[in-house]
Structure 1
């Protein structure tokens, strides 16, 4: 550094409480996401355990934004990065235990691993989780579902920590779960859940999970850089029973491309990063799809993919 160069100012990380986990300044988030796009987190925090997370939240300055992510399978990080602190749960948050006919799963546990654990224990009813590429925390936050079942069907209780660092416990009714919706305030970070299974035949459960994996591979671009279902299905009374993908197809969007982003030709409710897409390409493509569907059907599609961070440029369809 020469005498003419200004000294760097203080970084956000210097204002944060001390933790037992790991704090990383200017952490790239794109490589963590399934889309493989996006900017950096001002600070990335990986808490050591629930006590570490609670202490951090209690001591974090109120003006610092806090965002939690899972495995980022249904997430689009904008190119300008995410302000404040991004929290990613791993380690003890990924643990799964079996208690009779129930599973106790951390919020960072992969949905597939929860389904696999249930199968090994001969517990049925959780097979659908094997078709959802996310974590239990994300499943709670959006009431994730597939193949005729959803998280609301099996959750008994859930635990979380709010922005003030307070430990909270919710029963099923207290979660206020609806279609791709959870009524718990956004500032609550889920840390785990108790899930109900029913005794079943291990071989039959494994067969059902295999069928789910085959159905996914046959109908979805599972090996592409994608983010899962892009838009929630609309109210069937408004759409005449049409699913989001059908409305997108009718609007002529199958295969539509903007920059390095494309609407999947295999399943047109999936957006793809063809290799050189930016987050702006993907979000702009999604907004163009929404515009065309609204124009052709009168239905306004709602994003199911979560979008976070600062755009590097204005998004226009």
Structure 2
């Protein structure tokens, strides 16, 4: 019996009231943009918020829990993910609606681009930056996603979340504790929706801003590759790509993983990369930048799961290629 099947058996009859989809031994490479990585013991896609709360209430405290979005900035290690991975369904958590002249409510599984499109249709400015972020609102809330000089924290009014026991919490903007690509909201909170606020703006102005975002992405980013977006956070006073380029890592390859020749802060799977290749490449880049510039790049891509035996990647590789 596999780990996933064993965990399902452990939960047993308690699952009879759960409406969402439970998949044992789920292949995480099928739902991540890198198209690499091992299996999750169980993948759970709740039907709606009530279903998610019911599942959390029955899940034993010792079972590890990981929440993922659309997988756009997620690197899963080859050894897979223990416990339960929760992926919010589009049907239950993917809607967005205008709730006032300047406010939008969006579910955590709603694509960022859909919020930008709704804002355009509603004449609400300030959301054009979401047009260029290939993720969902839950991830944007957690990491304070931003682009083109605007960050999520500038638009958030309140966030609805469930804790590990299935209890509902409402967080204000201040409660989220936002910083650059970071939120200090409790790590075990699962965001289910949020209310955002923009400002009145004419459609032509919004459309022009969205077109500029799209043009920028198409001309400087490898958007048609298997990538996870920006690999590293920008250090204080400089850009990650500049330091990577200065360290001679533009186009650097390890196995099937490569730092994009087009935008060298984007790591891509050229077709056969494993989770090991991708993380090994990232740590090699970090080591070279540290040696060249004295800067310790911090990962922006979220790395999860366990290493496969004999395929561990150490932080800051000592031996450079």
Q: Which residue of 1 aligns with 2:265?
A: 269
1:40-89 Cα deviation digits (max 9, x unpaired): 11000000111111111111011100000100001101111111000001
Moved more, 256-265 or 196-205: 196-205
Q: Quick check: 2:2–2:25 contact (8 Å CA) kept in 1? A: no
Partner of 2:226, secondary structure, is coil
Pairs within 5 Å for 1:176-187: 176-187=177-188
Matches within 5 A, 1:37-186: 37-90=36-89, 91-100=91-100, 101-186=102-187
TM-score normalised by length of structure 1? 0.94
The Cα shift of 1:15 comes to 2.4
What do residues 244-279 of structure 1 show as CA deviations (whole Å, max 9, x unaligned)? 110111011011110000111111101110100101
User: 2:98 is paired with a residue of what secondary structure?
Assistant: strand
Runs of 4+ in 1 over 4 A off after TM superposition: 7-10
In the alignment, is residue 293 of structure 1 matched against residue 289 of structure 2?
yes
Paired positions, count? 306
Equivalent residue number for residue 12 of structure 1: 7
SS at match of 1:228: strand
Structure 2 equivalent of residue 280 of structure 1: 276
Q: Which runs of 5+ in 2 are unaligned?
A: none
SS in 1 for 2:180: coil
| Per-residue deviation, 1:146 | 0.5
Number of the residue aligned with 1:3 = none
Provide the C-alpha distance between the structure 2 equivalents of 1:166 and 1:8, rounded to a whole number of angstroms: 31
**1:309 matches 2:305:** yes
Q: Please, what TM-score do these two structures have when normalized by structure 2?
A: 0.93
Give 1:240-279 correspondences, 5 Å limit.
242-279=238-275
Over the residues paired in the alignment, what is the CA RMSD in angstroms?
1.2
**Which residue of 2 is the match for residue 212 of structure 1?**
213
Q: Distance in 2 between matches of 1:214 and 1:30?
A: 29
Q: Name the SS for the 2:229 alignment partner.
A: coil
